[in-house]
Amino acid sequence: MHSSLPVYVNSLRVGLKLKGMRECKVSRTAMDNPLMLMIPGPTPVPEQVLLASAQPPISHRSLEFQTLMAQVTADLKWLHQTQNDVLILASSGTGAMEAGILNFLSPGDRVLVGCNGKFGERWANLCDKFGLITERITAPWGCPLDPQAFRRHLEADQAKQIKAMIVTHSETSTGVLNDLAAIAQAVTVHAQALVIVDAVTSLGVCPVPVDTWGLDVVVSASQKGYRMPPGLGFVAVSPKAWQAYTTAQFPRFYFDLGEYQKAAATHTTPFTPPINLFFALQASLGMMRSQGLAALFSHQQRLMQATRAAMRALDLPLFVPTDTLASPAVTAIAPEHVDPEQLRSQLQKQYGVVIAPGQDHLRGKLLRIGHLGHICERDILTTVAALEATLSDLGHKIQPGEGIQAVRCCFDQI
């Protein structure tokens, strides 16, 4: 470890004496796991969730599993703020995305896809691959999508050929939060188009009131805001989407959501599920319910605002400069006076803190700090302290403690 780190550790100890700071227990030693994950996913997992997943498996055709399934389904509906189906897949978020296309659309259907980052582009590429007529609603990476652009396309579609509009809520590649409520509202001028949403880094991080906003298909994944290991995908489905399912033409078998809906009616699954991840899901959702949605979302705002305040104090330009457009899941920075990859490498090598690089054409230009999953105030303070030390190591002129002080002030005010 670098000799200057104790200075930052002392700052960290002082910073921990903040009004209202909740306890954040460490469940592993540095020897067991020397790396601290501050990336958009996978994210840190609470010890309680890890221990739950270590239980012996049970039969997925047992009464015990049916009880488990009933509970997690009810809790998923609570998290999604919906009365409709929320189905569980053994897949990544991309698998849930694919299920969202196969079950509700047909080859040759016309779709609008919002593209202002890598994951919006992934949706568009997926639609292209399945032979949909894909119209991209674009914005520069780091800028939000324009809800009026969707509205104009829908108003112009007098023949009602547009079958869906697809939006990434929290664009993980850039740290921008799209105005999902306003984009979804645009569909009222069309009525027939489905609203299909990637909520992979917004579910459990910021409000996604599925029923209130009129969202039809909402996909997410376990390794993000759910505070779980990877392996589960989730798809919320509205009655309007189920109506589209009856005429959808794509072949499907493992991802046939109709089979999952039928099985869920009797609290089971159509195929063998990853049972131990269901144990983890039960524990994680239980922790989230005990915290409550308002406190959950407030906590994420607190972490985001403190991270952004620290980046400004350290003269690390924010890729999304406006706080109201920023995702509570991830903060992207575009360093100007230090090489991003060198900074990221040194941060991990010297201090064991892992942050994410930019993606595609922004690799080598951006760094992304994740603050979702099992992350607390101390993790933000630790990351900022390590960043200060790394910048100093690399010869970047900073005032020691400026970033930490910005975090402390932010936490005191929120």
Q: What is the mean pLDDT of residues 101-111?
A: 98
pLDDT, mean of residues 309-323 = 97
User: In degrees rounded to 5, what are phi and psi of residue 232?
Assistant: -120, 135
Alpha-carbon gap, residue 18 to 409, rounded angstroms? 9
Tell me what pLDDT residue 54 has: 97
The average pLDDT across 95-113 equals 98
- Strand extents, DSSP E, 30-175: 36-37, 85-89, 110-115, 133-138, 162-168, 170-171
Across the range 121-134, mean pLDDT stands at 98
Q: Is the per-residue pLDDT at 31 higher than 60? A: no
The full length of the chain comes to 414
pLDDT above 70: residue 7: no
Amino acid in position 260: Y
Does the pLDDT at position 208 exceed 60?
yes
Tokens of 323: 């706080």
| Closest to 281 (Cα-Cα) out of 201, 223, 358, 366 | 223
**CATH value of 5-34+293-413 in 3.90.1150.10, 3.10.100.10, 3.40.50.10490, 3.40.50.300:** 3.90.1150.10
Higher pLDDT residue, 371 or 15?
371
Q: Helices H, strands E: what count in the chain? A: 15, 14
Given this chain, do its domains 5-34+293-413 and 49-289 carry the same CATH topology? Answer: no
pLDDT at 15: 42
Pair type for strands 162-168 and 110-115: parallel
Q: Are 117 and 361 in contact (CB under 8 A)?
A: no
What stretches of 72-230 adopt beta strand conformation (E)?
Answer: 85-89, 110-115, 133-138, 162-168, 170-171, 176-177, 194-198, 217-221
pLDDT in tens, 215-227: 999 999 999 999 9
Locate 48 and state its tokens: 């309680």
What CA–CA distance (Å, rounded) separates 275 from 122? 29
Q: Within 10 Å of residue 295's Cβ, how many Cβ atoms?
A: 12
- Residue 33's pLDDT is 60
Domain locations in the chain as residue ranges: 5-34+293-413, 49-289
pLDDT of res. 191: 84
Tell me the CATH architecture of domain 49-289: 3-Layer(aba) Sandwich (3.40)
Per DSSP bridges, beta strands 233-237 and 217-221 are antiparallel
The pTM score is 0.92
Q: Inform me whether the pLDDT recorded for 193 exceeds 90.
A: yes
* 114-to-184, 210, 315 alpha-carbon distances in Å: 12, 19, 31
CA R_g for the chain: 22
Q: What sign does the dihedral 288-199-207-333 (CA atoms) show?
A: positive
Average pLDDT over residues 220-249: 98
Could you give the CA distance from residue 78 to residue 247 in angstroms, rounded to a whole number? Answer: 29
